[in-house]
Structure 1
């Protein structure tokens, strides 16, 4: 019989409580022997029995192995282990090691980043440092991506900068005002005043480049070296900066300084990897990322050993082998763990035995993640109740809440806090948190030393989860208070109404004196304004009462006459407006200046659907008139066109009003009839009259080149093709009544997969669902078929949609894949619910076109449907209610019937291809049309022209007050 376990003390504290819970878990699993547990967990009997012995806290890995062997919930037990670590830290705070030793004597940096002065103690990143230095020597822009805690800041400051010894450098973080911070740092280097420099940077992006050259020209050796600009924590542009214009100006200045031909700047940006997509929203930075970005991954085993052992050896210390093995095993392959590793080593150094760093000291510090939690808990437990409340508000104030990303740290000016005297509780909390290296105070700026604290301190995590909504309100209140004070307490910046009501529930103790003053001023202003309104209403009521008597008499006398005159005037205006709209449409290609003015004047005369549609119609822009096919990338920013002469052209439509030709290729033997981009926009597929499928590499749209050419095997004209969302499969639909599937995982070697049959007549449109599991096809047999293409080699038809009375010409899926849109020669478009593609359901019908519907699409937000028809119109439908779509606008083309309509990235922008091979770019937003109509005006409409088109109306040219320097009439 096995020997029973030693009884545990009932009053033993958190460590024994944890052991007791492990024993109860084992009992619930049927009390297996430790020999059985060892076979399941792959740990020794002694290790597992020691875990439940209560003498020391087991490691997280041993705990989870024990739990797994007993069938417990690993996630729940990981939380229990972390809470126990924190509780043990709080219990032993009185025995914490002495922290009064100078920080400089420690061989490890803890949570703080390595600085340039720490280059001789920075080990483990030599390979990455060499790669970055080589990159910066060859190129002038470096964008370093890595997880939080991967060591981006340290490798730039302590690794890269020392390699450019003697070269001037600017190292800063953007903060809420990146352009202002850049001006301050650059002005200090150039010995000039930052105010004028900030204004120049905002107005002219070339200023940074010029000042850098001016600064280098003053150096003793003006021809030696360049200015190194390091922008650390670049993600603050998205978490702290609220001014999009300042953000764009800052990025433009950096890119120009790095890319101009006579540049004397080398720019390095350190960005958290979860903000990569944010960077792709900055147009200039997107183009630069292809050649500039380098990822920072986890350290290798050898690099980790160097980072652990070499600083200790340099300080005359030794590292116990068991400790080295435990640390490398815990840190290897885990991104973002370097601050935890450094902090754990620092805490182990505080608990060293002689000149040896031991595993026992590491375990006493709380382990890998526990060391940080233990330090934070020790700090918290050493505070009074009042100071603990202050600490909670302080740490929450130092965190920027993530919007779709992880929470990040936030740098706060000292004056944002209350009483900052040396004897205040706030100052005491700051002093102790700084001494514990949890906070960093730099001048009058305060920030959390590293974001690892946010995820590793359970107490801080609870604070964030409890107060998250209030924190968002509080952060907005803090920013509003700063604006109020910066504008000398302008009353127009105070809160009122609903905004004031939402912040009244914030706890008073969480507010600083500045914020309380702002709220008090807001409430006073609201009460004063309400009193002023009540007085004004009373005066108006008395005045109105007196006037009503007079008005009743007057209105009775003139009412009939006025009504008659208004009716006649309204009818005249209606007729003139409609006539002007028709005339403007006819003049669009011959005299766009006059057409725009007639349409705008008609809208001013009578605002209705006809005048709004007419105004938008005359402002379309013709891009090309020799095009057979076109395609747009998924982001709506790049356009591909197949021209009559067989060539392909690529265009940037980031600004639809200023399309830019990027590149061209002339390898197509015949004009392409169908084009489609791959999901990432790096591959373009096309099929021509020769029924050959061609693939082009358009990763660099300025230099596209062919990848492959393959016969499709179709025996008749290929009408359409589509690329699956993962880019691995292409479907082609042909007049030979079939669909063919191709594997293009290797675009240079397409492979035929399958031939789908079932349609009895021509197959026209084919389109993949957004998840890539379903293919929809339309045919002249008046049906839409849905195919299960999860396995393209075995793709059965799973549903047939029968509701159209004529050929099916167009298909489109909504971005969420739940709705299918079809267009037909029967002049209608139909919506289908395909949430379950095996059981599709008929939804709404779109009636309005007077000719066949040749193209259909959803806008990216899914709320609007765009259709184009043989009748030469583009129609927009509000489709929020899929069962009852409502026509919102109708735009007319002078180029004949429309073949294709596709939405672009800019709001309201679309591109169309007509049957006479003309490409037009439109903006369907009426407010845009009103704002930009006058930009098409060259000569103001004359009095004679006005009298001819608007007889009987006073001469009021709609664009008389417009000029190109002040583009608003």
Structure 2
């Protein structure tokens, strides 16, 4: 070993290292020349490039392929998987480098081989809009707007139609959908999501298509696929897992980019950095940020990155925290407040599958136009510091902005505290923004459907309260014009509904008064009729027919009494619960009343007071109060919690869903009957447990508080159609 060679080089042979690097692709000789393990003097004799070779919090792209090191094995593995299947799911933790390995590793090599068309996009709020935009990429300049306009239809056959119309017979297409989890965090339209996933399934199943799909998704969203069984089955068979970099790969990722620019590391520094990084999940963005900062803060006149500078930065674990704090402290108070409001606007809070108390912060995009003047100025400062990234949407003439990497959400203590304190306000604001956008989109098409998007009940009250007390202004810098308009429209719609209900109540009151007057009139007429009947009875007795006539009268009196009794019974049931069954019973009762009138001496042909009253109540009570429509298939069973605060549903889509009646929203998904429909769900008497059963021949006991599976009961040999708790909650009874 030369005295100038790095003494910290590994024991592996130079030949093995060259082989690993060659897996990455590109020119073989160039890779040897750039090898970190060769003589340091050779590296220092290269042309010096002052520009940092590290990406900071930004992801690698195809143009960065010459500076992308450490993922040659994974790149080759993914390419092999793409060659064998029409779909590959690249799965890994946040910060594991999923996007970069596809963008800077897989795509450049696939394009070098045979791919004639590549589309890259993230789902965002509408995956069809994002796909449409990627097809109109001005750099590629392949299609005209008129050719791809149909993509915006967003139907389940849209993806298949796209490739049939646009792809030439022998062309090879590669579609990369990055941050696939946005389909569940940003796309709130269930029908759009379902159509997009169905399109992917049909596309993958069509063996004739020369289209390859690569999806990159955070591993903590894998359970979301369970609601789409066919897609889940395909994806789970074609997963490429992005694991942590091995020691050798870390050396390449750290040292090779600097060597490319003619710079070396001080002896021992590479090993020190590796020691700081290894074992820390999702640390690659922090590593790149620290290396980029190390480069910028170093005196490179000697072309050596030094340990002292690295330690002054705080190492990998502290560099981002320290540097962001420094940037933040240099801001004016107005800019600091704007920074907080901007970052909280660019965050969403997702409820964990395991517990409602475990909420994951994820980044979200926003249009620059949503921000105030002072916020817009601060956005640009944060973009200049590489903490935010902005993307000009050429077709929409608007720029979006988002956090450069989600590592910032977990590595900057200040931001973590802000999110923790404001998570309910963040969630409410984002739901407002999503629903307001849908409302706005529907207004020109169907006002009735648009009105269905307006808020009511406790959700609206909470939004009004936070707007009135200034919470939205303090936390987020206020609400946009669209959201404010949405709240105002919701209030106006609520007032209109209240007014209609008051008018309906007045009509009912007037009708009741008329009924009472009519009843008094009828009573008087009935009294007169009874007098006549008694006279007729006397006359009939004189002729020996009084007994038969009175028998007829007794029959009609009995029939009227039965009608009144049935009306009273229905009214009692309606006081406990309402539903369409009691409305139908009321309608049947009216029919029987009318038949009675035809057979009796009642020439007035009016409904009994009791029958009219119960019909009015049944019609009023049977009106739909809420609609919960998150299931993807038939709903088999519904149950109320004992306290009346929640309902639980199960469906042929294999999902069990817990809903809040007050919030009128989904609380939690229980995913246990993975391959079969769930047929029945019940609450325990104390409301602490839910029991479910289905086609998988198992009974599952769930904890409502822990949001988790407590126990599996096995024993049935066929699908289970009924299950319930004993009154004391100690036993379960089931039928199959």
TM-score normalised by L of structure 2: 0.61
Q: Separation in 1 of the partners of 2:501 and 2:50?
A: 65
- Give the structure 1 partner of residue 81 of structure 2: 135
Report the equivalent of 1:564: 559
Q: Is the 8 A contact 1:213 1:264 kept in 2?
A: no
Say if 1:387 and 1:429, in contact at 8 Å, map to a contact too: yes
1:326 to 256, 269, 272: 272
List aligned pairs for 1:515-526, cutoff 5 A.
515-526=483-494
Contact 1:409 1:447 in 2 (8 A): no
Match of 1:179 among 116, 128, 152: 128
Give, in whole Å, the separation in 1 of the partners of 2:681 and 2:506.
Answer: 55
Q: Which residue of 2 aligns with 1:114?
A: 60
Give the drift of 1:462.
Answer: 0.4
In the alignment, the residues of structure 2 paired with residue 187 and residue 563 of structure 1 have an alpha-carbon distance, to the nearest angstrom, of: 79
Structure 2: runs of 5+ lacking an equivalent:
1-48, 354-358, 393-398, 528-553, 570-583, 590-650, 655-671, 690-696, 705-710
| Residue aligning to 2:427 | 472
Instruction: Give SS of 1:266's match.
Output: strand
Q: Distance in 1 between matches of 2:428 and 2:674?
A: 40
Do the aligned partners of residues 567 and 475 (structure 1) sit closer, same or farther apart at CA in structure 2, a change above 3 Å counting? same
CA deviations on 1:287-324 (whole Å, 9 max, x unpaired) are 21343111111111111111111111111212122321
Contact in 1 for aligned 2:154/2:192 (Cα 8 Å):
no
- Residues 441-590 of structure 1: matches in 2 within 5 Å? 441-443=390-392, 444-488=399-443, 492=451, 493-506=453-466, 507-509=471-473, 510=476, 511-514=478-481, 515-527=483-495, 530=498, 541=509, 545=513, 548-554=516-522, 564-565=559-560, 567=562
C-alpha change, 1:875 and 1:271, in structure 2 (3 Å) is closer
Query: How far apart are 1:387 and its partner, in Å?
Result: 2.5
Cα distance between partner residues in 2 of 1:238 and 1:447: 17
CA distance in 1, matches of 2:65, 2:513: 84
| 1:882 counterpart = 2:728 | yes
Q: 1:383 aligns with which of 331, 340, 343?
A: 331
Matched with 2:625 is none
Q: In the alignment, is the contact (CA less than 8 A) between 1:300 and 1:333 conserved in 2?
A: no
Whether 1:170 and 2:119 are equivalent positions in the alignment is yes
- Normalized per residue, the structure richer in helix is 2
Give the deviation of 1:465 after TM superposition: 1.1
> Does the 8 Å contact 2:265/2:306 carry over to 1?
yes
1:183–1:194 Cα contact (<8 Å) kept: no
Partners of 2:92 and 2:241 within 8 A in 1: yes
Asked whether the 8 Å contact 1:209–1:263 carries over to 2, the reply is no
Q: What SS class does the counterpart of residue 271 from structure 1 fall into?
A: strand
- C-alpha distance in 2 between matches for 1:327 and 1:526: 60
Change (3 A) 1:194 1:215: closer
How far 1:357 sits from its partner (Å)? 1.6
Closer, same or farther in 2 for the Cα pair 1:520/1:570, shift >3 Å? closer
CA distance in 1, matches of 2:175, 2:525: 78
SS at 2:439 equivalent: helix
Q: 1:537 to 1:458 in 2, by over 3 A?
A: same
CA change 1:566–1:486 in 2 (3 A) is farther
| Cα 1:532–1:567 shift into 2, 3 Å | closer
Deviation at 1:520, TM superposition (A): 3.5
How do residues 766-845 of structure 1 correspond to structure 2 at under 5 angstroms? none
Q: CA deviation at 1:366?
A: 2.5
1:401-480 residue pairs with structure 2 within 5 A? 401-404=349-352, 407-414=360-367, 417-419=370-372, 424-443=373-392, 444-480=399-435
Contact 1:114 1:122 in 2 (8 A): yes
- Structure 1 residues 104 and 860: alpha-carbon distance in aligned structure 2, compared to 1, 3 A threshold: farther
In the TM superposition, 1:711-790 aligns within 5 A as none
- Give the corresponding residue for 1:964: none
What is the CA-CA distance between 1:170 and the residue it aligns to?
Answer: 0.8
Query: Post-superposition shift, 1:435?
Result: 0.9
Paired with 2:127 and 2:54, the residues of 1 have a C-alpha distance of 31
Provide the rounded CA distance (Å) in 1 between the counterparts of 2:86 and 2:80: 11
Instruction: Identify if the C-alpha distance between structure 1 residues 883 and 209 changes in structure 2 by more than 3 Å, giving closer, same or farther.
Output: closer
Distance 1:213 1:106, change over 3 A: farther
Pick closer, same or farther for the CA change 1:382–1:527 going to 2, 3 Å: farther
SS in 2 for 1:321: coil
Q: Distance in 2 between matches of 1:411 and 1:433?
A: 16
1:270 aligned counterpart, secondary structure: strand
The 8 Å contact of residues 297 and 335 in structure 1, kept in 2 or not, is answered as no
Pairwise CA distance, 1:418: 3.3
Distance change in 2, residues 1:276/1:884 (3 Å)? closer
**Alpha-carbon distance between aligned partners in 2 of 1:213 and 1:524, rounded to the nearest angstrom:** 47
Question: Could you tell me which residue of structure 2 aligns to residue 197 of structure 1?
Answer: 150
Q: CA offsets per residue over residues 171-221 of structure 1, 9 Å max, x none?
A: 1111122233234434665435488523655142xx42343254331xxxx
- Structure 1 residue 126, shift from structure 2 partner: 0.9
| Cα displacement (A) at 1:430 | 0.6
Task: Give secondary structure in 1 for the equivalent of 2:371.
Answer: coil
* Gap change, CA 1:415 and 1:347, over 3 Å in 2: closer
Q: What is the rounded CA distance, in whole Å, between the counterparts of 1:545 and 1:569 in structure 2?
A: 19
Deviations along 1:753-780, one digit per CA (max 9) or x if unpaired, are xxxxxxxxxxxxxxxxxxxxxxxxxxxx
1:881 shift after superposition:
4.2
Structure 2 SS opposite 1:241: coil
Counterpart in 2 of 1:764?
A: none
Counterpart mapping for 1:616-631 below 5 A: none
Shift of 1:482: 1.8
Distance 1:520 1:867 in 2: 53
Change (3 A) 1:356 1:815: farther
List gaps (5 residues or longer) in structure 1. Answer: 1-102, 575-600, 607-652, 657-678, 683-700, 702-813, 820-830, 836-855, 888-900, 903-911, 913-969
Task: Give 2:319's match in structure 1, choosing from 371, 374, 385.
Answer: 371
Query: For 1:471 and 1:142, how far apart are their aligned partners in 2?
Result: 34
Q: Which moved further from structure 2: 120-129 or 166-175?
A: 166-175
In the alignment, which residue of structure 2 is the partner of 1:211?
Answer: 162
User: Quick check: 1:879–1:885 contact (8 Å CA) kept in 2?
Assistant: yes
SS at match of 2:280: coil
1:394 and 2:322 equivalent? Answer: no
CA contact (8 A) 2:151 2:162 kept: no
**1:161 lines up with 2:107 in the alignment:** yes
**Which deviations, in whole Å up to 9, do the C-alpha atoms of 1:473-505 show, x marking residues without a partner?**
222222222223223485724333322211223
Contact 2:186/2:364 (8 A) holds in 1: no
Deviation at 1:133, TM superposition (A): 1.3
* Residues 273 and 194 of structure 1: CA distance in aligned 2, closer, same or farther (over 3 Å): farther
Query: Given that residues 144 and 296 in structure 1 are in contact (C-alpha distance below 8 angstroms), is that contact kept between their aligned partners in structure 2?
Result: yes
1:565/1:249 Cα in 2 relative to 1: closer, same or farther (>3 Å)? same
Q: Are the aligned partners of 2:64 and 2:104 in contact in 1 as well (CA < 8 Å)?
A: yes
Alpha-carbon distance between aligned partners in 2 of 1:232 and 1:498, rounded to the nearest angstrom: 36
SS at match of 1:176: coil
Alignment match, 1:347: 293
TM-score, length-scaled by structure 1: 0.47
| Higher RCO, 1 vs 2 (CA within 8 Å, ≥6 residues apart) | 2
Provide the residue aligned with 2:234 in structure 1: 288
Choose between structure 1 and 2: higher strand proportion. 1
